[in-house]
A and B are shown apart, each in its own frame.
Chain A
Amino acid sequence: MKIRDLLLENCFFVDINVKDKWHFFKEIAECIAKEINLPAEKIEKALVERERLGTTAVGGGIAIPHSRLEGLEKIVIAVALSRQGFYFESLDKKPVHLVFVVLAPENESSLYLKTLAQLARILKQEDIKKRLINAQNIQEFKEVLAEVDREY
């Protein structure tokens, strides 16, 4: 599997305008809902419930909100960039500029964890991270990703 294969092309935001993470979840859930044919409220609820257990912002301007989702058939990833950054309750208190939203089927086994691990591995690389944040469109984003997104 590769991260690129899981991206929802129609849920890629180059510069999302939201006031905080709760607002973000609402917006992104609406977009994802259309792509996977599940109710937006359900998607939003899953992300919010996970977030309440602890922030999914990992610091350095990145967040990876994620959850299992009943009724989902395969893992999907939505991406949002924000030039200005928005508030996500990061441990380092910095605004978030790049968000990967990962949703996985209820019974997905190790692939879900491997996907999260792969994202964490990619985002550790500072130059890649910067170039992803500055991507102008999904093609550019995928090209940068392709450099480090090896099969897992």
Chain B
Amino acid sequence: MSLRVIVIGAGEVGYYLADRLSLEGHHIVVIDKDEDKIKRLERLLNVMAIQGSGASAKVLEEAGIKETDLFVAVTSSDEINLIACLLAREYGVPRKVARVRSEDYLSPDSPLNEQKLGIDLIINPARVLADEIVKLSEITEATDWAEFARGKVVLMGYVVKEGSPLAGLSLADLRELRALYDFVIVAIIRNNETIIPRGSDVIKLNDKIFVIAKKKDIPAIETLLGFKTEKPKKVFIIGGGQVGLWVAQRLEARKIEVYLVEKDEDRCEELAEELEDTIILNLDGLDAQELKKEGIDQADLVITVTDVDTVNILGALLAKHHGTKKCIVRIDRPDFIPLLSSLGIDVALSPRLLAANQILRFVRRGQILSVATFLVSDAEVVEMVIPETEFFSKGRRLEEVKFPQGAIVGALYRAGEVIIPKGETVLQPGDDLVIFAKRESLPKLEQLFST
């Protein structure tokens, strides 16, 4: 079903959302005050762009607010986003999403929160980023991790390094291993290209592989494939902003030794009040000598979350140079992302893209249950329900269903049970499928599963 969507704010989040939603065939109008941003949109995307304020009723009417299904306010101003959403509510827009940074609007006991404002989803990019960092810090070798089917199915991303038993193995060999290990490799990323592998494909050194399996089987699979998972013992966080503080709080609660590096002396004092066991270091994140003295070379994980991309990248590279095992880096400029894995950055996260993805997940709540996207790849994972159509009504073997090229089923969830399907597995209406799909195959997938 094609939706009519208004997006206020053509920054990173707005641009990304407009791009993705228009590719999926929705009708998009973007509003922004900045003439340059409007021109860029008109030049690069197939959307309608209007210059003006999103908090102006006149502009919203011009954008067709009365017929709008979804309203997304993602300017850099909390107040504009909130007012725009209040206006949208008055016009009867059924679903409203706002990006809000201030904590004042986010707590359940705040005088103005999601419910009272009548907004369906309030997103705080910093919080989304902190959640993601904490999740990824649990796993030392996986570069990506997402859960599906109520947490029973996971998708893991790993880089095949020197000495990995996977290098040189064909997908056909791995398929035989399914007698012992129930997993599928749904994609290989090689030279920035996403390959949905076939039996004859062979895994090579430096490939990144995406594996789908039952969550309970992951320890055995990691042992077999030579990927180790441990809770980090010693973590350095560089950047004592909101994200750094949140991450430190969550990690220290899990009895991990945390060092938080912050340049600003006053901020250090504030941090000391908020944190209990974390050691706060009043240092520059690029001061290699001092950081080494504090033992950054012994750290399992370094998280760089200052406001400056270059500091984050350099800080992480320095730490890795000194012997840190893994780094997670905050990146605001998406242009840098393709560079990072070749530089040796293990995980790069963009708060804006994470926020945008959360919004996409919300938008697709009807047909697609959830979605996870990956920075390194032009693919995503979607959960879809098999409809009660004539084609599926009597059950269909997986090999009978014509999936679009670039899409592969990783798992099936039925009545609380997870099945990692094979060609002969029968799909039934109501089954929930976890599908890894290249972006261009998404519209065809939706067609296949539409009622």
Q: Which residues of A are interface residues toward B (Cβ below 8 A)? A: 50, 53-54, 56, 58, 64, 66, 107-110, 112-114, 116-118, 120-121, 123-124
Pair A120/B180 contact, Cβ less than 8 Å: yes
Pair A56/B180 contact, Cβ less than 8 Å: yes
Which of B165, B177, B220 is the most central at the interface, judged by chain A CB atoms within 10 Å of its CB? B165
* Stretch among B43-51, B168-176, B332-340 lining the A interface: B168-176
Q: Is B179 an interface residue (CB 8 A)?
A: yes
Cβ contacts under 8 Å, B178 to chain A: 120
Pair A113/B166 contact, Cβ less than 8 Å: yes
Of the residues A56, A58, A109, contact of B168 by C-beta under 8 Å: A109
Q: How far is the CA of A72 from the CA of B82 in the complex (A)?
A: 65
Query: How far, in Å, is B203 (CB) from chain A's closest CB?
Result: 9
Pair A54/B220 contact, Cβ less than 8 Å: yes
Query: How far, in Å, is A81 (CB) from chain B's closest CB?
Result: 19
A selection of 14 A-B contacts at a CB cut-off of 8 Å is: A50-B220, A50-B223, A54-B220, A58-B179, A64-B179, A64-B180, A110-B165, A110-B169, A113-B165, A113-B177, A114-B173, A116-B176, A120-B176, A120-B180
- Beyond A110-B168, A113-B165, whether A58 also contacts B173 by CB under 8 A is no
Q: Is B110 an interface residue (CB 8 A)?
A: no
Pair B165/A108 contact, Cβ less than 8 Å: yes
Pair A53/B179 contact, Cβ less than 8 Å: no
Which of B163, B166, B179 is the most central at the interface, judged by chain A CB atoms within 10 Å of its CB? B179
**Size class of the B contact interface (CB-based, 8 Å):** 20 to 34
Interface string of B215-256 (1 = CB under 8 A from A): 011011001110000000000000000000000000000000
Cβ contacts under 8 Å, A64 to chain B: 179-180
Q: Is B164 an interface residue (CB 8 A)?
A: yes
Q: Is B23 an interface residue (CB 8 A)?
A: no
Query: How far, in Å, is A110 (CB) from chain B's closest CB?
Result: 5
Of the residues B216, B220, B224, contact of A113 by C-beta under 8 Å: B224
Cβ contacts under 8 Å, A53 to chain B: 219-220, 223
Cβ contacts under 8 Å, B179 to chain A: 58, 64, 120, 123-124
- Beyond A53-B220, A54-B217, whether A116 also contacts B165 by CB under 8 A is no
Pair B220/A120 contact, Cβ less than 8 Å: no
Q: How far is the CA of A64 from the CA of B224 in the complex (A)?
A: 13
Interface of B: prevailing SS: helix
Cβ contacts under 8 Å, B169 to chain A: 110, 113-114
Query: How far, in Å, is A67 (CB) from chain B's closest CB?
Result: 8
Q: How far is the CA of A120 from the CA of B178 in the complex (A)?
A: 8
> Which residues of chain B (374-406) have a CB below 8 Å from chain A?
none
Which of A50, A53, A123, A124 is the most central at the interface, judged by chain B CB atoms within 10 Å of its CB? A53
Q: How far is the CA of A58 from the CA of B180 in the complex (A)?
A: 6
Q: Which residue from chain A places its CB closest to the CB of B220 in the assembled complex?
A: A53
Q: How far is the CA of A108 from the CA of B176 in the complex (A)?
A: 19
Q: Is B167 an interface residue (CB 8 A)?
A: yes
Query: How far, in Å, is B323 (CB) from chain A's closest CB?
Result: 21
Cβ contacts under 8 Å, B163 to chain A: 107, 109
Pair B173/A117 contact, Cβ less than 8 Å: yes
**Given A110-B166, A117-B176, 4 extra CB contacts under 8 A:** A113-B224, A114-B173, A118-B176, A120-B179
> Which residues of chain B (168-213) have a CB below 8 Å from chain A?
168-169, 173-174, 176-180
Q: How far is the CA of A124 from the CA of B178 in the complex (A)?
A: 11
Of the residues B164, B216, B219, B224, contact of A109 by C-beta under 8 Å: B164
Q: How far is the CA of A53 from the CA of B216 in the complex (A)?
A: 9
Query: How far, in Å, is B171 (CB) from chain A's closest CB?
Result: 11
Cβ contacts under 8 Å, A50 to chain B: 220, 223
Q: How far is the CA of A54 from the CA of B214 in the complex (A)?
A: 12
Cβ contacts under 8 Å, A109 to chain B: 163-165, 167-168
Q: How far is the CA of A66 from the CA of B236 in the complex (A)?
A: 38
Cβ contacts under 8 Å, B177 to chain A: 113, 116-117, 120
Pair B219/A116 contact, Cβ less than 8 Å: no
Query: How far, in Å, is A8 (CB) from chain B's closest CB?
Result: 21
Cβ contacts under 8 Å, A112 to chain B: 165
Cβ contacts under 8 Å, A116 to chain B: 176-177, 180
Cβ contacts under 8 Å, B219 to chain A: 53
Q: How far is the CA of A110 from the CA of B224 in the complex (A)?
A: 11
Q: Which residue from chain A places its CB closest to the CB of B173 in the assembled complex?
A: A117
- Counting from the closest, the 7 A-B pairs by CB-CB distance are A117-B176, A53-B220, A120-B179, A117-B173, A120-B176, A110-B168, A58-B179
Query: How far, in Å, is A131 (CB) from chain B's closest CB?
Result: 19
Q: How far is the CA of A110 from the CA of B168 in the complex (A)?
A: 7
Cβ contacts under 8 Å, A107 to chain B: 163
Q: Which residue from chain B places its CB closest to the CB of A66 in the assembled complex?
A: B180
